[in-house]
A = this chain, B = another copy of it.
Amino acid sequence: MRVLVIGAAGMIGRKLCAALARDGALGGRPIESAHFVDLVAPAPLPAPFPAQCEALDLCAEGASERLIAERPDVVFLLAAVVSGEAERDFDKGYAINLDATRRLFEAIRHEREASGGAYVPRLVFASSIAVFGVPFPETIGDDFHLTPLTSYGTQKAVCELLLADYSRRGIFEGVGLRLPTICVRPGKPNTAVSGFFSSIIREPLEGREAILPAPDTVRHWFASPRAAVGFFLHAAVLDVKRLAGRPNLTLPGVSATVAEQIEALRRSAGDGAVRLIRHEPDAKVREMIAGWPTRFDARRATALGFAAEADFDEIIRVYLEDDHVAAVA
C-alpha cells in the first residue's frame, strides 16, 4: 500500500511518519512506499520502504492533483493554519484550511473518475474540538451541534461536512478526527494560548520554570501525542461501514483541571517540580479559555476502538517515555 502524509513536518505529523516507518505496515498490509510532504521538507527518517520527503505548498497550482496522481491508498491530512493565525489572517485561513482541503477532495474525485471508479482511497482528516463553541453542556455528547467561535473552527467544521458528503458519494472513505488538545507537547513553549497546558508539565520535568496564566480550576480535554498518532493509525484501517454515514468523530480523551494536572506532576516528579510553576494570572487568557469545552462523552469513537489515556498521570508517563529530554537523549 502507498501512503501520503500531508503536514508531515508538524509535531503530530513527524510522530505519525515515524510510527509508519517503525511498523512498515498498516492494518497488516505492508507499506510499499510513502510520500511525506509539508511546507518545509520533513526530515528524512529510516524506513523499510522508500519514503519521499518533499517541501510542497498545498495551495500551489496543481499540487493536490500531482499528489493524488500517485494514487495513494491512504491519505493523512494534517496540514492547517493554526487557530490564532487563521483568526488574524482571514484570507490565508480560508485558503489553506478550506480551499486547499476542498481541492484535495476534488483531486480525488477526478482521479476516481479517471480510474473508472476503481480508485477510492482512505482519507483521514485532522479536525479539532474547536468546532464546538459555548454555550454547551458540561459534558458534550456525540450529537451536539457545531457552533465554532473562530474561523479556524468554522473551516474545520466545513471540511467535516464536505468529508461526509464526499464519503457518502463513495468518492473516498473519509474519517474526520476531532482531536483533543494534545498534551504534553514536546519542544519549546509555543505562542498558542493552549500552550501552557503543556508547558506547566514539560518545563518543570525538564527542570525549567513555567508560567501558568489561568486559574487552576480550569478544566479541559486532553490526549497525548502518542494517543493522537494512535487515532490516525486506527482511522486508517477502521471498517468504515461501522461509521454508518457519520464519519466525523469526537475522540476520547482525559478531562482534567489544571489543579489535577499539577497534582499528577507532583506524583510524578515531586514538590520541587511543582514549585517551578509560577502563577501569573492573565485576564485575557482566562476569558478565552472560558469558551473552551471541558469534557466529552466520546461514546461512538470509544465503541469504534479509539483509545486515549486513562488519566493525566498516564499522559505524563507517555511524555517521559517518548519525549523527555533525558529519555530521548
Contacts and interface: CB of A to CB of B under 8 A. Distances in A.
Interface of A: 90, 109, 133, 136, 143-149, 151, 154, 157-158, 161-162, 164-165, 168-169, 245-246
Contacts of A144: 143-145
Given A90-B169, A169-B90, A161 B149 contact: no
Contacts of A145: 143-146
A149 B168 contact: yes
A147 B246 contact: yes
Contacts of A151: 165, 169
A112 to B, nearest CB: 12
The 8 closest A-B pairs by CB, nearest first: A154-B165, A145-B145, A143-B145, A158-B158, A154-B161, A157-B161, A158-B161, A151-B165
B148 A165 contact: yes
A175 to B, nearest CB: 15
A161 B143 contact: no
Nearest to A156: B161
Nearest to A87: B169
11 contacts: A136-B143, A143-B144, A144-B144, A146-B146, A147-B164, A148-B161, A148-B165, A149-B245, A151-B165, A154-B162, A157-B161
A146 B161 contact: yes
A149 B162 CA distance: 11
Contacts of A246: 147
Given A133-B245, A136-B143, A144-B145, 11 more contacts: A90-B109, A146-B146, A146-B161, A147-B164, A147-B245, A147-B246, A148-B161, A149-B168, A149-B245, A151-B165, A154-B164
Q: Which of A136, A161, A162 has the most CB of B within 10 A?
A: A161
Contacts of A157: 161
A303 to B, nearest CB: 15
